[in-house]
Amino acid sequence: MSRTYDLVHRTTYTYAQPVTDSYGRTTLTPRDVPGQACLATSLEIDPLPADTAAHVDYFGNRTTYFGVTEPHTRLTVTSRSTIEVTRSAPEPERLPQMPWEEVVEAVREGVATVDEQALVRLRESLLPSVHVRRTDAVRDWAAPSMTPGRPIGEVLVDLAHRIRTELAYRSGSTTVHTTQDQLLAQRAGVCQDFAHLMIAALRLHGLPARYSSGYIETRPPAGREKLRGADASHAWVSAWAPGAGWVEIDPTNDQLVDDRYVLLGWGRDYHDVPPLRGVIFTEGRGAHPSVQVDLVPAGSDPFL
């Protein structure tokens, strides 16, 4: 089976005072990876940029740089893509059965089935990063899942399940700077926080993990129309296991990733793959952003 989606992601910044220059970089073009193909894509920036360039970053994500050099009080960045998704989620019982300690040892000693560059990337996925830290609080929280000899597949499923059941999803309860210790103290966060917590728990125990950024198709309650522009960016976890490669799992929804998900890119954490980042030059107090996202079956006429 396959699903084809139309995706529109629009971000509008409004400014209290004129901005003389805006320089930004987007990560808004879906990747081509096994199980996902980006069939068409475009990026519109208003006002028109004086300079723009496409780029593939260190992690293989498709990014676009832009520079707007005419004065403006509003900046709109709109990405449109059509994506075919054919991935299916593995059954949990079919995940690798190797004890998690053996996965740690395999990465430490070198994996015969991956080349040198891939091994470097695996080992990079063990390191602390901007938003993922090794702390005693994370170690204590993860301990019940990391029992000796437990299969790596069971570890992944259990960590995701515990995040879903032990922490509340509460929009606005955290910021991009919220740490794992703060999340565990308040027991509430959003998908970005949950992904960072699971990544931190895995890395702390020597298991490679990275941050995946993208979208998940949302469906309205029975009998109601889908609200246009009300979808949002999503985040989940990629964890490596011998024989399976990178296993994609969503702790926010306690499930393995399937054809309802569209991947934009991955990195060590959110810092590597924000949809938009940049700088502006203004005498005002900065920007007031608003974001509209629509991920719908192809041909459903997403908002213009």
| Per-residue pLDDT tens over the stretch 82-93 | 999 999 999 998
Extents of the domains making up the chain: 3-86+274-297, 92-257
Q: Is 179 helix (H, G, I), strand (E, B) or coil?
A: coil
| Per-residue pLDDT tens over the stretch 93-115 | 899 999 999 999 999 888 767 78
**Residues 74, 13: contact at Cβ < 8 Å?**
yes
| Per-residue pLDDT tens over the stretch 153-199 | 999 999 999 999 999 999 999 998 999 999 999 999 999 999 999 99
Mean pLDDT (the chain, rounded): 93
3-86+274-297 CATH: 2.60.40.2250
Mean pLDDT over 227-255 rounds to 89
- How far, in Å, CA of 82 to CA of 260, rounded? 14
Question: Which pLDDT score, from 0 to 100, does residue 110 have?
Answer: 81
CATH T-level topology, domain 92-257: C8orf32 fold (3.10.620)
Angle at 283 between CA 280 and CA 287, to 5 degrees: 50
Long-range contacts (CB closer than 8 Å, 24 or more residues apart) made by 116-122:
122/208, 122/240
